[in-house]
Amino acid sequence: MTDITTVGEILIDLTQCGINENGIPVFAANPGGAPANLAVAASRLGAKTAFIGKVGNDSYGEYLRKVLRENRVDESSISVDPKQHTTLAVVTVDETGERSFSFYRDPSADVELSAGDIDVNKLKDTKILHFGSVSLTAEPSRSATLFAAKTAKDAGAIISYDPNYRANLWSDEATAIEMMRAPLGLVDILKVSDNELPLLTGVEDPAEGTKMLSEMGIKLIFVTLGPDGAFFRFGDITGSCPTPPVKVADTNGAGDTFFGAALSQIAKLDSLDELTEKKLRSITEFANKAAGITTSRHGAIPAMPTLDEMKK
């Protein structure tokens, strides 16, 4: 059985990595896409992972599949679209390491993922099924993603969700909030950033916001707080863990690394009911450490730590 199967977008992050001698920004073609990032992060930390998505019939698409194979992620359920190109996202980074995104995906291959492309057998043979909100921004990928989540849920999988908000992919904030909230009834584990929590709940306080989400039936919730670490809630059990000090080079992929690291540890459990405050604190500290290492280097997937690095 696969520990974690992710479904959604896989793309190229054209990430700013410097400025040349003529003052022209220099970009590197890094592999990216939040669900693919998470699958790699968890795989590097010892989990057995798989990815379901769609790429174009182009060199970028083949490169992305190669990256997944090299990171021991099962990419056999990736479809190839003969008509659409692999999605590109231009990622600029400011002096603090914070990112801004411009997407070139209207249309592109990841949006064309349909329910017919989904390998149902993969969904029935995974412990955790993970998805994000980028694939909910348009059809047919929206229906395909929700189909995958419902099918996996019915088969007994734990459902994991990251409503990673990208404002320029939505027509307006109200539509984004509506669609980001839509899958919450299926979700067992949720990871939100401190910027996304108010979109889902209307409040900024992690304790209050996660209590509202918990009352909706979501068992485990993480709130990432940037340099301030992360907050967790499992029913009435709450706590927070600081982030280890790190010199930030690039925050791209930090949230995906955090969640991938956390899920890699959760996948070792027979049930979420085994979670205690001590275990949750250990999981959150592990995830914070992994995310911290990622932010100290450039790119998303290329910056993610291995289990050996974590042990050192």
Q: Greater confidence, 93 or 86?
A: 86
Is it the case that residue 212 has pLDDT exceeding 90? yes
Is it the case that residue 252 has pLDDT exceeding 90? no
> In the chain, pLDDT over 70 holds for what percent of residues?
98
Is it the case that residue 52 has pLDDT exceeding 90? yes
Under the phi-then-psi rule, with left for phi > 0, alpha for psi from -120 to 50, and beta for the rest, what region is 202?
A: left
Average pLDDT over residues 152-162: 98
Is it the case that residue 39 has pLDDT exceeding 70? yes
Residue 231: which of 172, 290, 287 has the closest Cα? 287
Is it the case that residue 104 has pLDDT exceeding 90? no
Give the pTM. 0.94
pLDDT band at 121 (very low <50, low <70, confident <90, very high): very high
Average predicted confidence (pLDDT) for the chain: 94
